[in-house]
């Protein structure tokens, strides 16, 4: 079946460090891929998306490229801030079931001053 695998957290970084969160997926066809972020006590916010191979999603300094050959969608940010501390979820959506998001387990990121 379809699945999303994320690196386990917590990931602890110092401010201004480089962040990478690995995400790989298993799915037939060509799913759309998403990164969502969840701040403490809140729901999920869409961070970025990509709908086809080689697409690059970007937002708020975060980037992720849809790599079909490695079935990956790794999230990167060049210089993190304390305010980036949150849980990050990678998710996929199949074309034939567009209403259902399948999420990874989430990766907690802690940025210290």
Instruction: State the residues that interact with another protein by CB under 8 A.
Output: 34, 36, 41-46, 49, 89, 97-106
Query: CB of residue 106 vs another protein: minimum separation in angstroms?
Result: 6
First to last CA, the chain: 41
Query: CB of residue 98 vs another protein: minimum separation in angstroms?
Result: 5
Secondary structure (DSSP) of the chain: --EEEE--S-EEEETT--EEE-EEEE-SS--EEEEEEE-TTS-EEEEEEE-STT-EEEETTEEEE-BTTTTB--EEESS--GGG-EEEEEEEE-GGGTT-EEE---EEEEEE-
Query: CB of residue 17 vs another protein: minimum separation in angstroms?
Result: 26
Query: CB of residue 100 vs another protein: minimum separation in angstroms?
Result: 5
Judged by CB, which is closer to another protein: 46, or 53? 46
């Amino acid at each position: 079946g379809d699945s999303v695998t994320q690196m386990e957290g917590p990931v602890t970084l110092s401010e201004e460090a480089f962040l990478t969160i690995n995400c790989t997926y298993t799915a037939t066809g060509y799913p759309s891929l998403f990164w969502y972020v969840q701040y403490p006590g809140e729901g999920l916010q869409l961070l970025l998306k990509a709908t086809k191979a080689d697409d690059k999603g970007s937002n708020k300094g975060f980037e992720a490229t849809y790599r079909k050959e490695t079935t990956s969608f790794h999230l990167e940010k060049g210089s993190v801030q304390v305010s980036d501390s949150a849980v990050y979820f990678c998710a996929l959506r199949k074309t034939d079931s567009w209403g259902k998001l399948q999420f990874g387990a989430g990766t907690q990121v802690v940025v210290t001053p």
